[in-house]
Amino acid sequence: MAQPAPAQSLILMTVPQPESPAWWKEAVFYQVYPRSFADSNGDGIGDLPGITGKLDYLKRLGVDGLWLSPIYASPNDDNGYDISDYLAIGPEYGTLKDFQELSLGLKERGLRLILDQVLNHTSDEHEWFHQSRSSRANPRRDWYHWLDARTDGEGDRPVPPNNWRSVFGGSAWEWEASTQQYYLHCFSRKQPDLNWRNPDVRRALYEVLTTWATRGADGFRLDVINMIAKAEGYPDVPRPAGNTEPFLNLDEYGVNQPPIHEYLREMHDAVFAGRDLYSVGETWWVGAHNTIDFTGYHRRELNAAFYFYFHECASGQAHFENFSNLYEATRGKSWLTVTLGNHDSRRSLSRFGDPVNYRHASASLLATWLLTLPATPFLFQGEELGLTDHAYSTITDYRDIQTVNRYQELVASGVSPEKALAEVRVTSRDNGRSPIPWDATPGAGFSRGVPWLPIAGDHRPFHAAGQVDDPGSIFHAYARLLALRKQVKSLVYGDFTPIKESGQVLAYRRGEWGSHPAVCVILNWGSSAQPWPCPIPSADGILYANHGGIAYSHLRPWEAVIFTAARL
């Protein structure tokens, strides 16, 4: 990465702007996990009318669109990511009429909608799989990955075709005695992988996307989309020395396999070409070294990808380095995304901030980082309230299949239940899935009934109603930053130039864009005071300061400041 010039010379730099405007570059998306957002009918499960009832709240916050996690018919082995009917709404969420009312409510408020779509696998209760598993002669047999058992096994027990291991634990292969073959499932055994080599499968999935676009979707988040192509011949994964456990090396055998790019270009041409739709992929093992292959403007594949090492960073400096590397690799060639968390990860404030000593300051600093980069930001529900991880008291309180499976594996291996629970609490996806606290009522405004996942007691004091009424709340910090991003387009399109990218203090300049001024962003990403990394701005040049103003002698813990560069 190029070394930054001194702060004083950065003021005078004029860099040609490589980006052309697009709605999805300027948009800030808010991810709704429907089961945990708002329950309208008292059954304990969030639903579509519940979301519709909160649209004014989201409009007041200032986001530009929603990303909805799956709302389709599903037996919910993996909370909706196991779809049994792509075109039907899950009855727990409502009806197609409810979806149409939500879509209309969004359009009336000028908000966009992108839907989660799971094209790598279905539920084993999908009609396609019912037909596929019924007989080797069924025309849909080849819609999934069916293989014979190994012939080199010992005894009468069938042996899986290779040593691939499911992401959720155990073998990635499930034996079907009735037809004497295994089927592949990279996730739960109730989530059989679709065979994208079959053109009928691809055509059927493109029709699914087209149907939802017709119904009102403005785009799609494509679940594990770079897993749809599997390694030719299903080879065994070489085990590291001394490792006797089977596993799936996704990087080499389950992700980014040929002909992935041919599939994505075909999907683009069949669904997205000629339509103003946004496509963002959940893309494991995609980063600065290969993102252009998926998201380059010339590639005609995806508009954008999610970069998961943002969720794994241990420090602000690591965030900065990862983003800078991505920006250097993609500037003028593709458009980035930035996230701090989602339904599959821990709460961002617990992971990256200091919610005990500097809750407001660290939450608003994270918001400042997220909303001042040349990328499309994605917020996860509850981040605007400063919600944190929550440790449930027993394993029976958890609903996440990955958490429960891991707990059972640990106990079966001899780990005590207490230690097993302590381990899974840290990484459980249910950390981010606890229902949203809307008010101070007994059901926290989420539901009149028993919630599907217990409401975190330590979330209740930070409910939405109280924060909306409090101008000094984390909600209003997000709202001010979202408004500023809309007002100052250099925060979207301006060139990104590091000023300081080491240690606890991170600083960068966003170049001018048309009539919009260049701005500087200073982040003290830690709990100790630090010196200013550049000349201190005058008060009339400050656009945002999360401590309400600045201390001219030093940067306070978790201080975030945005100011016009011309005021340096």
* In contact, 494 and 327? CB cutoff 8 Å: no
Q: β-strands 219-223, 181-184: how paired? A: unpaired
Tell the residue number behind the tokens 């052309």, with chain if given: 20
Do residues 220 and 277 make contact, with C-beta atoms less than 8 angstroms apart?
yes
Closest by CA position to 192, among listed 176, 212, 209: 176
Instruction: Render 136-159 in DSSP notation, one character per residue.
Output: TTSTTGGGB-EEPPPSS-SSSS--
Nearest Cα residue to 88 out of 99, 77, 103, 76: 99
DSSP state of 565: G
- Known catalytic residue at 223: yes
H-run or E-run covering 522: strand 519-524
Tokens of 311: 């969720």
Query: Measuring CA to CA, which residue among 288, 293, 282, 298 is closest to residue 345?
Result: 282
Residues near 468 by Cβ (< 8 Å), separated by ≥ 6? Answer: 57, 60, 475
Q: Is 282 a catalytic residue?
A: yes
Tokens of 290: 């290969």
Closest CA to 164 of 237, 257, 256: 237
In the numeric block, which tokens belong to residue 82? 């196991």
Residue closest to 116 by CA, chosen among 140, 149, 83, 142: 83
Amino acid type, 94: G
Per the CB < 8 A criterion, the answer to whether 159 and 149 are in contact is: yes
Identity of the residue numbered 412: A
Can you tell me which residue has the tokens 């969420």? Answer: 93
What one-character-per-residue DSSP string does 306-373 give?
Answer: E-THHHH-SSHHHHHHHHHHHHHHHTTT--EEEES--TTS--HHHHHS-TTT-HHHHHHHHHHHHHSS
Strands 112-118 and 304-306: unpaired
Q: How far is it, in rounded angstroms, from Cα 265 to Cα 35?
A: 33
C-alpha–C-alpha distance, residues 259 and 199, integer Å? 13
Confirm if 352 and 309 have CB atoms less than 8 A apart: no
- Alpha carbons within 13 A on the beta-carbon side of 326: 25
Residue 545 belongs to what H/E stretch? strand 542-545
3-state class (DSSP) for residue 282: strand
| Choice among 77, 116, 223, 266 that is catalytic | 223
Both tokens of residue 214?
Answer: 């017709």
Of 47, 174, 266, 282, the catalytic one is 282
Q: Which tokens hold the place of 17?
A: 């702007």
Active site residues: 223, 282
